[in-house]
Chain A
């Protein structure tokens, strides 16, 4: 009965994309936010961004929605809207103070994630983007389980170039295989830094074992693109602005846009394929 409830609620979701990484701090939330902005640039598309990082919800701040609260209506919880066609949900909206800590064990976190899917009145959505915390634990198992009520187009996996990150990301790729989650591809973030003064490049997070490129080759997954470090990215996130709009000329913006386009194409092919089957 619960599964039927979820299926009913999620029937109107055309595409869902999970943003994952085994490693923390590689730019999942940053990427999720920019993917949401990128997809919502087409005003005919309805985009939903769901933040299931219960302990460290970064999305409200990055979307310029800090301090917003969730409202209830007859049809459920209302997402918080950044644009008319871009709605957001996060535990951040349920906390009354920035110092509030969510000190919950697994089962309670799972309960909230289910509520986010079941009780939020998303309406008809073209793209549901789910931002996740690092790891391969309760949140990840639960979201895959609950979203099996609809279908998941796939996962975008974020990494940085160094082996310390890649070793965790390989585990995440294994997790995806284990739970039969298709992998749309890998994004290598923080890929080099060009000094604004002398224009020389430094590898701050060195790809000592070949970076994401080599890992993708070895594991037979797509490398969607590499994004360089740009101090403006962090600034935009802190201000709650879209980096793509604030720094349209940045090489990082060019990379992000290419990656977003590839993801869109992947989803479109998927949709087409399903229509063919019917």
Chain B
């Protein structure tokens, strides 16, 4: 118990990124939020508890890194020299990247407890917890394990169409039932501006996320458009925030980060 306390004791704010729906951009938002926070001078950790589909290591181009142990537990993987962003994911523990983690719930729960308690994060301003879609073992176990450390809350990501919003409504219920504060909803993949002619097409519809926030009485953090430069950056493990400040998704991502920072300064005061 003492060891657990010391590993998360240096973390100022814990933030979960959730969605009922798969493929809406949880890992993308987790990563971009981490990059934005770094550019604001913060030290950030990302804990990737998606055991079946861990996306985070590759997005930072560190998927081939190994994880080492120290006295207080696992040493997280740093993405760069100045150690401003650190990661932990099952992706680092796989022998081969194509190995499937075919585990039932209890085994997943055991690893998540370890991930929450046994990673030597050190001092962090923010720990972002990226989750798989759903409301099952991973989510229940993660929230239970984090409860003593009083997380700041959860950001819920959706895409605009009704089919996604339908699942995210259930995730809101999950948050209510588990006592997890909802910091707000992000409507991702909200519109696509053709780079050739600037025509905007709502490929995945528009407005569902904003409407859900209004209906549920939670803050709406903003719409992030589909941006091929963002997808390309994720594929190549690049720092989108640093390299593409003029890109269409940048203002929205910066605005989301600012609202999170505003939220934390309010909490401190």
Contacts and interface: CB of A to CB of B under 8 A. Distances in A.
Interface of A: 22-26, 29, 54-56, 58, 61-62, 98-107, 109, 133-138, 140-141, 160, 162-164, 167-168, 170-175, 178, 193, 195-198, 200, 202-206, 208-209, 229, 231, 234-235, 237-238
7 contacts: A29-B163, A101-B20, A198-B197, A200-B194, A204-B228, A205-B231, A208-B232
Contact of B21 (A25, A138, A195): A25
A196 B169 CA distance: 32
Given A25-B22, A104-B136, A171 B101 contact: yes
A55 B97 CA distance: 27
B211 interface: no
A229 B228 CA distance: 14
Contact of A136 (B101, B105, B109, B166): B101
Contacts of B174: 101, 103
Interface stretch (B39-47, B51-59, B69-77, B79-87): B51-59
A90 B114 CA distance: 34
B102 A136 contact: yes
B52 A195 contact: no
B171 A101 contact: yes
B103 interface: yes
A134 B22 contact: yes
A98 B169 CA distance: 7
Nearest 3 A-B pairs (CB), nearest first? A25-B23, A24-B22, A106-B105
Residue of A167, A206, A229, A235 contacting most chain B CB atoms (<10 Å): A167
Given A104-B136, A134-B133, A138-B105, A23 B53 contact: yes
Interface string B5-47: 0000000000000001111100100000000000000000000
A137 B103 contact: yes
Contacts of A100: 170, 173
Contacts of B226: 204
B196 interface: yes
A167 B134 contact: no
Interface of B: 20-24, 27, 51-53, 55, 58-59, 97-106, 108-109, 132-137, 139-140, 159, 161-164, 166-167, 169-174, 177-178, 192, 194-197, 199, 201-205, 226, 228, 231-232, 234-236
Nearest to A219: B98
A197 B159 CA distance: 23
Contacts of B192: 193, 202, 204
B52 A99 contact: no
A238 B22 contact: no
Tell me which of A25, A99, A103 has the highest count of chain B C-beta atoms within 10 A of its own C-beta: A25
A209 B202 CA distance: 27
Contacts of B137: 105-106, 137-138
A23 B53 CA distance: 7
A168 to B, nearest CB: 4
A98 B97 CA distance: 37
A105 B98 contact: no
A167 B58 contact: yes
B196 to A, nearest CB: 4
Contact of B162 (A61, A103, A164, A168): A61
B265 to A, nearest CB: 32
Contacts of A193: 192, 201, 203
A107 B137 CA distance: 10
A56 B158 CA distance: 13
A56 B140 CA distance: 15
Contacts of A29: 163
A103 B177 contact: yes
Given A171-B99, A196-B201, A24 B135 contact: no
Nearest to A138: B104
B203 A55 contact: no
A174 B161 contact: no
Contacts of A101: 20, 135, 170-171, 173-174, 177
Given A171-B98, A231-B203, A238-B205, 13 more contacts: A24-B132, A56-B21, A58-B166, A98-B169, A99-B169, A99-B170, A106-B105, A137-B104, A160-B23, A171-B53, A195-B197, A229-B203, A237-B162
